[in-house]
Structure 1
């Protein structure tokens, strides 16, 4: 079934494009999953989820972020804000995401959020809870974190915030890299990242990045008993070597590459990985997850699920380990931030939504419909 690209026209001339699985037939309690993609790879890579959504009482909306196909490019002013690490850039970006969700609610009449229900039979219990679950993947998690981390965003009206509170039940952080949290990397880290490799000709960076990010890695700190990466390990206990032997992207056809990868857009986002913007990102990421006052005053009732994978690249592996370390240490010292639920997909790389789309969506749905008790890994 084809799902054509649609467009919503927001205020101030901004357009955001997306594809939509549509509402499950005859369902009055389906949950809407809004997916926010990462760097270089646009929303096309998630299109397989549409085929399995209805069977799980889900509606999948795959959003093309600003600067990607069909959505408005960044303005010169916004590019300057990125280079100057301005907070206002994220306030505006998250307000546009909020406006998109409001339009979705009003145009589509999606079901209102109800109380959470426990899923059974590996996520196949079809009793729904309505509402919207917003999932960021990879660096797209920075946009999602900005929505519930830029507290009292002056660009989100009280009216819109009140409506969003009634509908948004879940935020999902799906295999984010450390740069989505602004975590500073030790200066002696031996691990490789393509955007710091000056030997790569600029024209080759999209291919090198695609192979690197979609490879499978065998991290020494993998714990076979818990079937996840040990959060007590360090950044030095990861497999940080560049690889390209077996990758998810190597199976893509030329048509899929043309539709799904926008390598030139990565240049803008690499500037967000630099120290200035990383400090800005670090502030709102901390507020989103670990600041008690911020959590109490901004989307206090939304659940947060951290969906990790065990054979991802080191930047994403370390981000999960570091987030777990900070989360459990905060709990040990009785500092009350936001409750997190950690779920790990054992044996998967950065692309289980492509490699194992149906199984991935089942795991995701089970996470959405579970209660707010953190699952330690």
Structure 2
């Protein structure tokens, strides 16, 4: 098996003028294997998952990690792509998310066709799509906008995609605002590089919670431990720069984070609380949410709030909302936001356990 540094970026065209670059751990010979496709979070490119690649085959996994749009060499957003975000209209922002969903779903299907990966058999084979942090916005969008896919893409997607995982999704991406007592002062920093550094050191820290499974906000820590080094602290500035983009973090990623909360609420309702959509489009698709045992408390809290909504989603997601898909939650008891970097073997076992829920 190749080491992470020996892997070469590959590319795949999904539409006219749009190509995604990605890393691929490769075929698993003589095995029916599952392909995990990762969509990375804010400020980070697909290289952030590189420690998982040498471990994949032993777990009968093939791992693919995307470079999202605006992360070179994947195609940058055009002005026309961003106009809908900048317009601040609900229609424009929903249209932007829908277009990203179509592109990522198309990537999955074209990759599956070209690589001849195994078809899904229950929760084996096929594809599990994993959105990490801001990447969960994109994976959620795929589930929410299955009805926008061309029929040939939707038909083939149904043969491969069996599970979607949102790993450490920020509350805003699922339509849940942070608790009133929580604030992020780093967003007021005007220097782009400094703002990214503050964000990265915060989100990559360890949050020492009393209890991540209780559902009580009082059991959660909202500020990182000052006594434990944050993930990736061993990297030189040059090594970190190879995995990140402060420019994209403060540009198109910042626009994504500023999408109106009601748009994210509507997307979540379409994804997991719309019975008509779920019945007509990939009815057997499973949606899983997971968070780390030392991830930021604000993320753990939001996931508990969403779990409560499974019983009665109407107060947040509207009068017609009701649980429509196979949705489950996994509150891990170990690992921070970057567990795939600090403890890659543990991370793979967590992903497998979440898929198997």
Relative to the length of structure 1, the TM-score reads 0.85
What residue in structure 1 maps to residue 286 of structure 2? 303
What residue in structure 2 maps to residue 190 of structure 1? 181
Evaluate the alpha carbon distance shift between residue 74 and residue 304 of structure 1 in structure 2; reply closer, same or farther with a 3 A threshold.
same
Q: Is 2:99 the counterpart of 1:92?
A: yes
What residue in structure 2 maps to residue 166 of structure 1? 159
Q: Is 2:106 the counterpart of 1:102?
A: no
Distance 2:146 2:118 in 1: 26
Q: Does the CA contact (< 8 Å) of 1:149 and 1:285 recur in 2?
A: yes
Evaluate the alpha carbon distance shift between residue 279 and residue 84 of structure 1 in structure 2; reply closer, same or farther with a 3 A threshold.
farther
Q: Is 2:130 the counterpart of 1:147?
A: no
Q: Is 2:67 the counterpart of 1:64?
A: yes
Evaluate the alpha carbon distance shift between residue 183 and residue 164 of structure 1 in structure 2; reply closer, same or farther with a 3 A threshold.
same
**TM-aligned CA deviation for residue 40 of structure 1:** 0.3
Q: Does the CA contact (< 8 Å) of 1:3 and 1:20 recur in 2?
A: yes
Higher relative contact order (CA 8 A, sep 6+): 1
Q: Is 2:40 the counterpart of 1:37?
A: yes
Distance 2:347 2:112 in 1: 25
2:354 equivalent among 367, 372, 376: 367
Structure 2 spans left out of the alignment, 5+ residues: 315-320
**TM-superposition CA deviations, 1:194-233 (whole Å, max 9, x none):** 553x2563331111111011011123xx43xxxx3322x2
Tell which deviates more after alignment, 320-329 or 238-247: 238-247
Q: Is 2:246 the counterpart of 1:253?
A: no
What residue in structure 1 maps to residue 318 of structure 2? none
Within 5 Å, which residues of 2 pair with 1:167-246?
A: 167-186=160-179, 189-196=180-187, 198-199=188-189, 201-219=191-209, 222-223=210-211, 228-231=212-215, 233-234=216-217, 238-241=220-223, 246=229
Distance 1:185 1:175 in 2: 14
What residue in structure 2 maps to residue 132 of structure 1? 127
Distance 1:244 1:295 in 2: 45
**TM-aligned CA deviation for residue 313 of structure 1:** 1.4
Q: Does the CA contact (< 8 Å) of 2:208 and 2:294 recur in 1?
A: yes
Evaluate the alpha carbon distance shift between residue 35 and residue 199 of structure 1 in structure 2; reply closer, same or farther with a 3 A threshold.
closer
What residue in structure 1 maps to residue 306 of structure 2? 323
Within 5 Å, which residues of 2 pair with 1:6-25?
A: 6-25=10-29
**TM-aligned CA deviation for residue 341 of structure 1:** 2.1
**TM-aligned CA deviation for residue 330 of structure 1:** 4.9
Distance 1:340 1:313 in 2: 22
**TM-aligned CA deviation for residue 323 of structure 1:** 1.3
Number of positions where the alignment pairs a residue of Structure 1 with one of Structure 2: 342
Q: Does the CA contact (< 8 Å) of 1:192 and 1:240 recur in 2?
A: no
What residue in structure 1 maps to residue 262 of structure 2? 279
Q: Is 2:328 the counterpart of 1:341?
A: yes
Distance 1:257 1:96 in 2: 28
Q: Does the CA contact (< 8 Å) of 1:214 and 1:248 recur in 2?
A: yes
Q: Does the CA contact (< 8 Å) of 1:49 and 1:361 recur in 2?
A: yes
Relative to the length of structure 2, the TM-score reads 0.89
**TM-superposition CA deviations, 1:253-280 (whole Å, max 9, x none):** 3343021111111122222223x53321
Distance 1:288 1:183 in 2: 15
What residue in structure 2 maps to residue 374 of structure 1? none
Distance 1:195 1:178 in 2: 18
Q: Does the CA contact (< 8 Å) of 1:138 and 1:176 recur in 2?
A: yes
**TM-aligned CA deviation for residue 301 of structure 1:** 0.7
What residue in structure 1 maps to residue 317 of structure 2? none
Q: Does the CA contact (< 8 Å) of 1:211 and 1:244 recur in 2?
A: no
